[in-house]
Amino acid sequence: MQAGILETPTAGGPPPRKRFTRGEVERLARAGFFEGQRFELIEGDLIDKMGQKPPHACAIRLLLARLVKAFGPERILIQLPVELNSPDREWSLPEPDLAVLSEVRADYRHRHPRGDELRLAIEISDTTVQYDATVKRDLYARAGVPEYWVLDVNARRLIVHRNPRDGRFLEVDILAGSESIRLGDEPDTIAVREMLP
């Protein structure tokens, strides 16, 4: 038997993955399939909402206190779903760590707020910075979220996205240390170091 070199196949790629729609996920959830599990649906993938490390949880608490002071408790969402526009709506239902409503509406009792009904969405990132600053950024831009922050806990910086147009944010700023940012149109500002443990 003659030995030879096996050529690497050039055709094909990874096998197709199953992308879930919101309808499928909602049916599975109603059937109890996800009992005791936390996840969010992003681009058809179920993303495990793993337990939070102490720095992540601390940053949420620090920011929450400042947002409540600036906007009042009724306008703050904590890890709750935000509706997107079509076609993203069919495949994604993100849950930002924190978000601020533009106003409180009675019909939020029957539906989730849309991205364009927020003033601000925030993701606290320790292990998911790349994902939050690309995939989620683009979802929020297409949904019309006017301002999106990624608080990078490990690099101790805040990535601020503003002015969504044609599915992308036109302005991006990176702040760190004593640099501060205004909380929406409010006179109150907060330094990046005040958001971090």
| pLDDT tens sequence for the chain (197 residues) | 566 666 766 666 778 888 999 999 999 989 998 888 888 999 999 988 877 889 999 999 999 999 999 999 999 999 999 999 989 999 999 999 999 999 999 999 999 999 999 999 999 998 889 999 999 999 999 999 999 999 999 999 999 999 999 999 999 999 999 999 988 666 778 999 999 98
At 16 the pLDDT is 82
Report the pLDDT value the prediction gives residue 52, as an integer from 0 to 100. 80
Q: Give which of 129, 192, 134, 140 is closest to 163, Cα–Cα.
A: 140
Rounded (5°) CA angle 82-54-161:
40
Q: What is the pLDDT of residue 4?
A: 62
For residue 3, what pLDDT is reported? Answer: 61
| Contact in structure between 72 and 104 (CB atoms under 8 Å) | no
Q: Global pTM?
A: 0.88
